[in-house]
Amino acid sequence: MKDLEASLPAAQDNFAIRCRDVCRSYGKLKVLTNLNLTVPQGQIYGLLGPSGCGKTTLLKCIVGTLKISRGHITVLGKPPAFPGHEVPGKMVGYMPQDLALYNEFTISDTLSFFGRIHGLTSKETRARMDFLIDFLHLPQKHSLVRNLSGGQRRRVSLGAALLQNPELLILDEPTVGVDPVLRAKIWQHLVEIVKTGKVSVIITTHYIEEARQANVQYSTHDGCMVVQWVALLPCSKKVLGSTPSWGSFCMYQVPGLL
């Protein structure tokens, strides 16, 4: 693989993520092929697609926990895992699909642990912990992770991703197992934090209605991705085309997004 730092084009400040001709294979299995993707700063970006189409692989490449086979990726201006860039690290809140929590920890231990990793003071961690426990409808903070339900564990993992108020949120199916009321509340929070223009969100979901709240959508099918534009507010929409036969989406040109 080519040296990413030496050959990477200059990044633009208004893009949170840029992928150019990204390829990733597992042996002979090609998962990502010449993928080009741009996530604007200060927007929610939704990834749609069936299981096994490469959504999680792409997120792992973006956050820097998985190396690409070919191509270029920049995250907040530099390649993932660039020395001193804190990606992965404090600049990115990452909620993986497979939860990485310690069963022996309490909710308080878990959030304090991530707070220390990201350099938060004890006071900052406590304030964020109190907010997140209330916001995510979590049990008492002294509850052990091993005693939580699957949905509660996912909410703890989401809390860990939100803890340090990162510039970029990368969320892999964060609302699976979450009740509709809380799911709507989480989306409302995501919309609110991106309004500042300083936070960007890339999220995967299987929920069509949920994905319609994203500014930009990508649908994936058989290794190909189709860009889709969706309005947050009612507006006149011009249909550009339709998605592959597996889905029921349409691509729209939305004023102010293109």
pLDDT surpasses 90 at 134: yes
Least confident of 21-25, 110-114, 251-255: 251-255
Strand partners, 253: 238
Per-range mean pLDDT, top range of 69-83, 104-118, 203-217: 104-118
| Sequence-ordered list of residues with C-beta below 8 angstroms from that of 171, at least 6 positions apart, any chain | 93, 94, 95, 158, 161, 201, 202, 203, 204
The first and second tokens of residue 78, run together, are 């530099």
| Sequence-ordered list of residues with C-beta below 8 angstroms from that of 27, at least 6 positions apart, any chain | none
What pLDDT does residue 220 have?
56
Measured CA to CA, the distance from residue 189 to residue 194 in angstroms comes to 9
The first and second tokens of residue 147, run together, are 């005693």
What is the average pLDDT value for the chain, to the nearest integer?
77
What pLDDT does residue 15 have?
87
What pLDDT does residue 241 have?
35
Whose CA is closest to 202, among 41, 90, 82? 41
Measured CA to CA, the distance from residue 67 to residue 29 in angstroms comes to 15
What pLDDT does residue 82 have?
83
What pLDDT does residue 94 have?
94
Measured CA to CA, the distance from residue 171 to residue 194 in angstroms comes to 14
Q: Are the C-beta atoms of 201 and 17 separated by less than 8 Å?
A: no
Higher pLDDT, 159 or 181: 159
pLDDT tens-digit series, residues 213-242:
666 666 555 544 433 332 222 223 333 333
What pLDDT does residue 213 have?
66
State percent of the chain over pLDDT 90. 37
What pLDDT does residue 168 have?
94
Inter-axis angle of helices 107-117 and 122-135, nearest 10 = 130
DSSP calls for 208-222: HHHHTTSSEEEEEET
